[in-house]
């Protein structure tokens, strides 16, 4: 993959986020998402899981972390904007963060509140 991917115009970024990644939004040149957790241990587990995905993808988001919350910001620095690389990683983060066992699965899933995500602005 080339180092400098084409930047997606802001209007297309916003439209694609609404269609492909509800809950993610464009703000100040970044695509962003806030996840709320049931506390510090779950926040740290999510941070580490996002770090694992990001390192595997070799594309690293900016993170803001506090008790019970994590904000994830993505843009492709080498292209100075939002690219397909950002959408690809955002999709993987979204799948990971919100994954739950399917109904009827042999895995029962955590009884805790765990991780939730609301739509921002």
Q: How far is CA 23 from the centre of its chain?
A: 9
Domains of the chain, earliest start first: 10-100+111-116 (3.30.1360.20)
Q: What is the pLDDT of residues 11-70, one digit of tens each?
A: 999 999 999 999 999 999 999 999 999 999 999 999 999 999 999 999 999 999 999 999
How far is Cα 84 from Cα 31, in angstroms, rounded to an integer? 12
pTM: predicted TM-score of the whole model, two decimal places: 0.90
Average pLDDT over all residues of the chain: 93
Residue 109, pLDDT score = 87
Q: What is the pLDDT of residues 67-85, one digit of tens each?
A: 999 999 999 999 999 999 9
63, 4 Cβ separation under 8 angstroms: no
């Amino acid at each position: 993959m080339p180092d400098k991917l084409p930047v997606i115009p802001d209007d297309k970024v916003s439209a694609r986020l609404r269609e492909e990644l509800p809950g993610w939004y464009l703000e100040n040149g970044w695509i962003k998402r806030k996840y709320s957790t049931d506390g510090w241990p779950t926040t740290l587990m999510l941070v580490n899981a996002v770090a694992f995905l990001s390192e595997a993808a070799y594309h690293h988001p900016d993170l803001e972390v506090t008790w019970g919350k994590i904000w994830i910001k993505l843009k492709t620095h080498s292209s100075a904007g939002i690219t397909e690389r950002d959408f690809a990683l955002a999709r993987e983060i979204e799948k990971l963060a919100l994954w739950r066992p399917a109904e009827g699965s042999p895995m029962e899933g955590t009884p805790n509140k765990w991780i939730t995500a609301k739509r921002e602005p």
